[in-house]
Structures are given as structure tokens and as C-alpha cells.
Amino acid sequence: MTRILVADPLEASGLDILRAAGAEVHLVSAAERARLPELVAEVDALVVRSATKVTRALLESANRLRVVGRAGVGVDNVDVEAATERGVLVVNAPTGNLVSATEHTFALLLAVARSVPAADASMKRGEWDRKRFVGLELQGKTLGVVGLGRIGQRVASRAQAFEMKVVACDPFLDSAQAAQLDVELLPLDDLLAASDVVTLHTPSTRETRHLIDARRLALLKPNAILINCGRGGLVDEAALLAALEAGRLGGAGIDVFEEEPTARHELTKHPRVVATPHIGAQTREAQERIAIETAHMVLAGLDGAIPPGAVNRPRSRPEPY
């Protein structure tokens, strides 16, 4: 019988799909987490979200593992290189949270632009201080989208509904595609200098780590807003805090951090920052889609297919049991 280990919480709909396919599904309890290397030893598939780190050492503990399923977009917590070397297919759920991440980008942008959290906190203290909360309109402003993939394109179209001008930086998109989206392509430094709001939607790679560093933060307009619902590590958090403290940035909305949970409380508590604990995908609808999509990707991988959510091509694949 096919055995699947689910190391992080997964919606019941996804579990039902795995069980309906005849798999034996084991959910890792809190008390069992320390035994994860032992538990993964004799399973065919491992399903994780963000909490479990699929390291080289963990993969080396697995004797028959064929598929790792990441229930979400991106595989930052999976050692894909080690999995590839060991013949393990890695899949994710690439479309499950597109809408939720897009909408959360605007939740943070509007919250920063109109000081919504601070105004709400003021009201809850029994105050009525209208003059303190002078906001910023989006209409007529320029939005710079860094990474014009599936989420970036959705952000761009919604920004256009706000009557914003949209510019973008994406090395994988050509000018003809951008023109179809009514978006102007710019080099990153030019985008930063031209934008009133910058939003990040690139993957996390060696090349994109600290993509927005002290030098590039200095290119932004003094009242610009920076939004990161993409990946932790795209922004140099120390440099961002320094820019905010020096008054060189209008504000920031942050959902993802270099280390999670973050200990950089001086940043999250800054009065011009709206911070959330990596909840871009935390909607009921997204969690349902992610669970279902992950289950189907894992089962396809176990059947020997390379599904659309695959992020690697294993060097060798063990024969199915």
C-alpha cells in the first residue's frame, strides 16, 4: 500500500482525495515531530506546508520516498537539489493562492496608504483624531510590479482598476507581452525611481536575496510605499528599517520575513509599517484549493507522471511499488 506522511496541517478535502486513492495517510502530531526522520523512513510521499523543512538530512532518512508535495506556492523550505539527486519528485500547488495573495497585496497597500491599523487603534482607545490620519490616494499614482508572473499580473490588472499607471520589471517577460497587459517594462532601478508604490512578486533565489537593498531603497521617492507579499529575504530588513527611521520612505506593508517567525520587532512595530504573519494564502478558499491541488499533484507523481506543479526532474525515479 502507498504510504503518505502529512507533516503539516492540510485541509480535509485534500486528505480525502489521498485516502480515496487507496493511500495510507499518517498525520504527524505535535508529539511526533521530533521523530520525523524516523517517520519518513518508509513512506512513498511526504506532504508539507511552510513549517516543516525538507532538508538534505531528512531526505537521506527516507528509504522509499518518491514525491515531496509542498502545499503552497514556492518550495523555499525544500532542498530541491538534494531531492533531485535522490530521485525524489518535488511538486507544489502553483495556482491555489493566486487570488488570496493578490488581494492581500491590496489589503496591505490600502492599510498603509490610509493608516487603517493606526486609525482603528486610535478609535479603540476612545479617541477621535481625524487630522492625524491624512492618507494617500492610489488614483493617478504609479505602481511598480517587480515580478510580473501570475500574481504580479493580477495585481497589475487590479491596480489599473484603481486608475494607477503600472510599470514592471521581469526578465522573463518581453515587451510585446507587457504591451498586451498595458504595462511598461523598465529596468529595476528605473522602476524604483519612477514608482509611488512598489510591490514584490518574485521567487526566492540566490539572485533575488536582498534584491531591495540599501542602495535600491535610496532610489525610491521619499513618500513611496513598499509592499512585500512575495518572499521573505527579497528585502534587506535592516536597510528597510534604517530607511524608515531616516524618513526616506513613506511606509511599508510586509507579510513575509527573512526568518519566520520574525524577531525583528523594531520593524514590525514601526509606526509606518503594517505587518502580518505570512497570511497571504490564509483564506478559506485558498486553503481548500491548495489542499486539493497538492493532493492531485502528489498522486500524479506517485503514478509516475510529471505534473504541472513539478519543480524538478529527478535524475532517477524508483519503480512504483
Q: What is the pLDDT of residue 320?
A: 40
Q: Pick the catalytic residue: 24, 260, 266, 285?
A: 260
Q: CA 259, 268, 278: angle at the middle one, nearest 5?
A: 50
pLDDT-derived band at 280 (thresholds 50, 70, 90) equals very high
Tracing cell 527611521 back to the chain, one arrives at 245
Q: Do domains 3-96+284-302 and 98-275 have the same CATH topology?
A: yes
The one-letter code for the residue type at 248 is R
Which residues, at least 6 apart from 57, have a Cβ–Cβ distance to it below 8 Å?
37
Q: Which of 232, 303, 306, 288 is nearest to 95 (CA)?
A: 288
Q: Where are the domains of the chain?
A: 3-96+284-302, 98-275
Tens digits of per-residue pLDDT, 1-10? Answer: 999 999 999 9
Mean pLDDT of 216-236: 97
pLDDT-derived band at 310 (thresholds 50, 70, 90) equals very high
Per-residue pLDDT for 285 more than 60? yes
Tens digits of per-residue pLDDT, 63-76? Answer: 999 999 999 988 98
Q: Pick the catalytic residue: 231, 270, 289, 296?
A: 231
Mean pLDDT of 215-239: 97
Identify whether 260 is a catalytic site residue: yes
Q: What is the pLDDT of residue 303?
A: 97
Class of domain 3-96+284-302: alpha beta
pLDDT-derived band at 238 (thresholds 50, 70, 90) equals very high
Mean pLDDT of 24-47: 97
Cα torsion 68, 69, 70, 72 to 10°: value is: 170
pLDDT-derived band at 316 (thresholds 50, 70, 90) equals low
pLDDT-derived band at 321 (thresholds 50, 70, 90) equals very low
Mean pLDDT of 215-229: 98
Does the pTM exceed 0.85? yes
Identify whether 38 is a catalytic site residue: no
Mean pLDDT of 187-194: 98
Complete DSSP assignment for 111-139: HHHTTHHHHHHHHHTT---GGG------T
Compute the mean pLDDT over every residue in the chain, rounded to the nearest whole number. Answer: 96
CATH number at 98-275? 3.40.50.720
Burial 238-248 (b: 16+ CB within 10 A, else e): ebbbebbeeee
Q: What is the pLDDT of residue 76?
A: 86
Q: What is the pLDDT of residue 182?
A: 96
Mean pLDDT of 246-266: 96
Tens digits of per-residue pLDDT, 46-62? Answer: 999 989 999 999 999 99
Q: Pick the catalytic residue: 154, 278, 288, 317?
A: 278
Per-residue pLDDT for 319 more than 50? no
Per-residue pLDDT for 318 more than 60? no
Mean pLDDT of 233-244: 98
For residue 48, the surrounding DSSP H or E stretch is: strand 45-48
Q: What is the pLDDT of residue 245?
A: 98
| Length of the chain counted residue by residue | 321
Helix axes 116-124, 98-113, angle to 10 degrees: 70
Identify whether 278 is a catalytic site residue: yes
Quote the CA–CA distance of 242 and 45 in Å, as a whole number. 44
